[in-house]
Structure 1
Amino acid sequence: MAGEIFDNKGSGEADWQWPSIHPEGRKFGVIAAGIALVTIFLLDLELIGWPLLAFAGGIFAFFRDPDRVVPQDPHAIIAPADGMVSLISVVEPPAELVGDDGSGQIGLPPGPVTRISIFLSVFDVHINRTPIGGTVKRLIYMPGKFMSAELDKASEENERQHILVERSDGVMIGFTQIAGMIARRIIPFVKPGDMIAAGQRVGLIRFGSRVDVYLPAGTEPKVLLGQKTVAGETILAELGDQKLLEGISQ
């Protein structure tokens, strides 16, 4: 019917739905809720039990996994995380993502690139998604500290996981999941060799954390410091989009 709105599966009407809870978080929420119910109804300690029940609800909310509408733009580099753009800087990409990894697989070229850092608070969705579609070329876990993820040096000193994805045309994007002061585990959903679509879920970080995205040379960010991003929906940049130098454009 003309004017009818369809969902991403090609049928029905678009409407709001309760987000699902990722299996990784269900066990924690169920345990917390069970302790709360025992405290309230068996131990008759309501002053303790009700806050515990609210805490269980917070756990379920933290692990929520809403569906997202991914932009169908082949040039789009999509936000891998919900959160706030906390840093935009020109840096050298991590050594783990650059050059030959020893197996003949070539990574990112050396040289300064623009890094966009997205800070996730405990209130944000912590399911991370890939900025582009392609093949997972590298997945490298690095142990480290648990300082505040908002600090610039967290990208080099905190526990982190690097992911490198290569498109079929050879374009590569590297991004890094970084644990924060509270986060204590980075959980991958993919492995090297996996084929993934743009915006597909690739992992999660428990509690406050950060995700860095390294834009290819010649690509300008389309987001600003302090801007909120939505994983799988917000366009961080477009491939090949670079500002012209003043006086060059005709």
Structure 2
Amino acid sequence: MVIHKEGYKILTYLFVVLLIVNLAVYYLLPESTAFRWTVWGISAFIYIMILQFFRSPRRLIITNDNHVIAPADGKVVVIEEVDEPEFFNEKRKQVSIFMSPVNVHINRNPISGMVTYFKYHPGKYLVAWHPKSSTENERTTIVVTAKNGTSILLRQIAGALAKRIVWYLQAGEEVKQGEELGFIKFGSRVDVFLPLDAKVKVAIGEKVKGGSTVIAEFK
């Protein structure tokens, strides 16, 4: 299993803390064999759960300028036409992907192009499926414009557990479809705002893989 760089520090600290706890139980309660094994089992379970959260599986990225690929692993929870007020100020097709704590939490570029807008918004930590999470939670807004002039807006959104959004790009930077753009720790959601004439290729409830699943196709 390959571990993502965002997990190195957390996993190191967690290992040290769990080691101290287990050593303290071992030396302070030498006669409590059952309790020691219980603590060890709980510690191993916690560490494995956090470890799998930061896994970084290899993905075969097939680039296509007509495709919009999923920016994250998870389940499609929203497909609708909405008003996008921050950048486009017009109606767009929104596709939202919910990432549970067991999903891979790497975020990837849905298309290739130039980052023409980027903004970080501090905010609340409403549950990711809350209707106002897209506009009130901590989030980033990223607009990527392809060479043909088509633009999409991507929003990383923190949730009730996810209180750390990481991004690796900035305005004016060229990005490639499928490459990592950031990471959201411990479950959240990613919104993609597409042109109205884009053909959505996924359905509500469908599970998608970041960098692999085609979620829409440009006209």
Aligned match of 1:169: 148
Q: Which has the higher contact order (CA 8 A, sep 6+)?
A: 2
2:8 is matched with which residue: 4, 26, 50? 26
* Residue 49 (structure 1) aligned with residue 40 (structure 2): yes
* Matches for 1:71-90 after TM superposition, within 5 Å: 71-90=62-81
Tell me which protein shows more strand as a share of its residues.
Answer: 2
Contact 1:33/1:53 (<8 A) preserved? no
Contact 1:130/1:201 (<8 A) preserved? yes
1:131 is matched with which residue: 103, 107, 110? 110
Aligned match of 2:50: 59
Aligned match of 1:15: none
Q: Extract unaligned runs of 5+ from structure 2.
A: 27-35
Deviations 1:137-166 (CA, angstroms, capped at 9, x unpaired):
122111111111012221111111101111
**Equivalent residue of 1:53, what SS?**
helix
Q: 1: CA distance between counterparts of 2:90 and 2:16?
A: 53
- The one-letter code of the counterpart of 1:234 is T
RMSD: 1.4
Aligned match of 1:11: none
Tell which deviates more after alignment, 68-77 or 30-39: 30-39
Aligned match of 1:212: 191
Aligned match of 1:8: none
1:193 is matched with which residue: 144, 148, 172? 172
Deviations 1:93-149 (CA, angstroms, capped at 9, x unpaired):
241x23xxxxxxxxxxx3211100100000001110011011111221111111110
* Residue 36 (structure 1) aligned with residue 18 (structure 2): yes
Contact 1:182/1:208 (<8 A) preserved? yes
2:126 is matched with which residue: 122, 134, 147? 147
Tell me which protein shows more helix as a share of its residues.
Answer: 2
Taking every aligned residue pair, what percent have the same amino acid on both sides?
A: 37
Contact 1:26/1:60 (<8 A) preserved? no
Q: Extract unaligned runs of 5+ from structure 1.
A: 1-17, 99-109, 241-250
Q: Number of paired residues? A: 210
The CA deviation at 1:203 is 0.4
Runs of 4+ in structure 1 displaced over 3 angstroms?
Answer: none
